[in-house]
Amino acid sequence: IDRPIRPLFADGFMNEVQVVCTVMSADKHIDPDIPAMIGTSAALAISGCPFNGPIGAARVGFTEQEGYLLNPTYAQLADSKLDMVVAGTKDAVLMVESQADQLTEDQMLGAVLYAHQEMQAVVQAVNELAAEAGKPRWD
C-alpha cells in the first residue's frame, strides 16, 4: 500500500500519517490487497491532508483462453501466466509488481496499460467522493 501512496504527499510535508487497514469482511476467493489500496486512497483523499491522489489499483491475470483478467480470483490465478498488481493515478502508473510465466514484452506492457485503463473508474469515484465529502485541504 505504501509504495504508490508515499510519493503523492506534498514536498516538505513532514507530519506523520498512519493508515491502518483492517479486513472486516472479504470475499474468500479474492485477495483483499486491492480494496485496501483503494480504501487507503479514499481515506487520504477525504482527509484534507496534502495528498496528490487519488490512486486506483488493479490486479491483472492472463490466460491464453481469456486474455487479461481484471482482479482474478485465487482459482483463476492458479491457471494464469501472470499475477500483476498495478497502482496509479489518473495520469500515470506509479507501481508495478508482477510474477509471470514467459510472457512477451508486449503482453506485459499490455497488462500494465489494461490495468491503468480499468482503474480509471475507481480514480473517478474517489474524486467524486472527495468532492462531496472531503475536508478542506490543509498545508
Please give the pLDDT value at position 95.
98
CATH fold of 2-133: Ribosomal Protein S5; domain 2 (3.30.230)
* DSSP codes, 62-80: EETTTEEEES--HHHHHT-
> What pTM does this model have?
0.93
User: Integer distance in angstroms from the first to the last C-alpha of the chain?
Assistant: 23
- pLDDT 10s digits, 58-109: 999 999 999 999 999 999 999 999 999 999 999 999 999 999 999 999 999 9
**Nearest residue to 92 (alpha-carbon basis) of 128, 119, 121:** 119
**Nearest residue to 55 (alpha-carbon basis) of 33, 70, 39, 32:** 39
Q: How high is the mean pLDDT of the chain?
A: 96
Grid coordinates representing 13 are 510535508
Average pLDDT over residues 110-124: 99
The domain segmentation of the chain, as residue ranges, is: 2-133
